[in-house]
Chain A
């Protein structure tokens, strides 16, 4: 068995070298398919990260009148914390609001003198409410209409994060659809090229195959080199993809800091943590596809 496996491997490598350019074309096509799939993966990671960063910033600032009593404020906080849509509620007291204002506008004499003229703290307490997702936004806004504290609220301030997220999603969905279509096209071309490579291999080795059959080679022994050659080509394609992907994402990550600020896009971490799963999965999928195509070609052209 070991001896036969060795000879099958030897024949497979001979096939590879004898059809060198055909092998290169096959690997290139498999590589293009894999690159497209990995670009889709990168896009997925970046989009998810962008959406999660935006969602992280989803918050509603609720300003209360400065006469609002602490009990009203506490009941509002308790009520909001009880909502499953609320991730966190931060309280800013009237005094803290005043201090923050002073810190922010301390250099502006005009503003500071106006504040002094008022003679008392004009700021009321406020709540900063954070939601889990942008979809929770509407529920929280509606919840603030609770008659228990509705009349104590002076102003509700929020940005339209939902439309931002929707825009990100819509754009990424469009690009993703295009990417998937491109990957499918590349995959179909790869299947055809693998089919043709095997057909050429069978044609080139037709004499050898006829003699193999004549002298009692088993069907497995005749077919296995073609299957092994395609597994080998798939391995080369995945190997080259790996070698290309890591430096590219390492290069892209700092470039994306323009959009993500201090936060990381998480690309390198994603490919490092899931590398085995990603490239192992891609290799297995590629092997299945190439074996399917090889099987078709052998069935049609290799009469054993």
Chain B
């Protein structure tokens, strides 16, 4: 599903984001990418959804070589990859429903399909009863669930979560992790970028550890060891 072959990202003038990263994530896998701040976790996530292009190496998503992906194709890639961030990135003037529907609207989906899909997604993230609320009327955990819902509307094959629990308390973090696990059980490949030790240890899935831009360990059913 995801294949990195000796990928490096060097920022000018000579700052290493990641260096010589090779990895393979199988379809339906749940992988946590961990490491201290500044070790290249977010760079790796950005390379996955083509926010950044690699300086060297090759990246394939579902057999699609996105190493030199054109600007035109980025939108197609992003309709197949859901992305969730620490700061939620919700539109404050849109309701929960509208925030989720927005992802379909900008992709040109028909209103009928939007009316079908959005309620289902809101049910998955357990927000059906709050679809008319605005982000500021929700807790942090609920806002993150809206963001996950928005990431899911395209039925992506891969969900990238970049520090999704970074702004949340333990209870809300657990809820989010349970939701991500549930989504993974439905068959979506999940790449979780985090430095939340408890959450990683709790789910007992594959853990890739980065240090200074390089993979220093890659363990099935691993633990956060740093």
Contacts and interface: CB of A to CB of B under 8 A. Distances in A.
Interface of A: 1, 3-4, 7, 207-208, 210-219, 221, 304
B107 A216 contact: yes
Contacts of A208: 91
B205 interface: no
A211 B71 contact: no
B81 to A, nearest CB: 9
Given A4-B108, A219-B71, A214 B78 contact: yes
B225 interface: no
A217 B76 CA distance: 8
B91 A7 contact: no
A254 B184 CA distance: 81
A7 B106 contact: yes
Given A208-B91, A210-B89, A215 B110 contact: no
B83 interface: yes
A3 B75 contact: no
A214 B83 contact: yes
A215 B78 contact: yes
A211 B108 contact: no
A146 B77 CA distance: 90
A208 B107 CA distance: 14
By CB atoms of chain A within 10 A, which of B75, B76, B109, B111 has the most?
B75
Interface in B10-52: 49
Interface of B: 49, 71-72, 74-79, 83, 89-91, 102-103, 105-111, 150, 154
Contacts of A3: 108-111
A219 B72 contact: yes
B209 to A, nearest CB: 27
A304 B72 CA distance: 9
B88 to A, nearest CB: 10
Contact of B76 (A207, A216, A221): A216
A210 B76 CA distance: 16
Given A213-B78, A215-B154, 9 more contacts: A1-B108, A3-B110, A7-B105, A207-B91, A211-B91, A214-B49, A215-B106, A216-B75, A219-B71
A267 B103 CA distance: 54
A304 B75 CA distance: 10
20 contacts: A1-B108, A3-B108, A3-B109, A3-B110, A3-B111, A4-B108, A7-B105, A211-B90, A213-B74, A213-B75, A213-B78, A215-B79, A215-B102, A215-B103, A215-B150, A216-B75, A216-B79, A216-B106, A218-B75, A221-B106
Contacts of B103: 215-216
A216 B78 contact: yes
A221 B72 CA distance: 11
A304 B71 contact: yes
Nearest to A7: B105
A20 B72 CA distance: 32
Which among B72, B90, B107, B109 has the greatest number of chain A C-beta atoms within 10 A?
B107
A219 B83 contact: no
B111 A219 contact: no
A219 B76 CA distance: 11
A21 to B, nearest CB: 19
A207 to B, nearest CB: 7
A286 B91 CA distance: 34
Nearest to B154: A216
Contacts of B78: 213-216
A19 B110 CA distance: 28
B75 A211 contact: no
Q: Which 8 pairs between the two chains have the least Cβ-Cβ distance?
A: A217-B106, A215-B103, A216-B78, A216-B79, A4-B108, A218-B75, A216-B75, A212-B106
A217 B111 contact: no
Given A3-B108, A3-B111, A211-B102, A217 B75 contact: yes
A10 B20 CA distance: 46
A217 B89 contact: no
Nearest to B89: A211
Contacts of B106: 7, 212, 215-217, 221
Contacts of B71: 219, 304
B91 A221 contact: no
A217 B91 contact: no
A215 B150 CA distance: 8
Nearest to A207: B91
A189 to B, nearest CB: 33
A1 B110 CA distance: 10
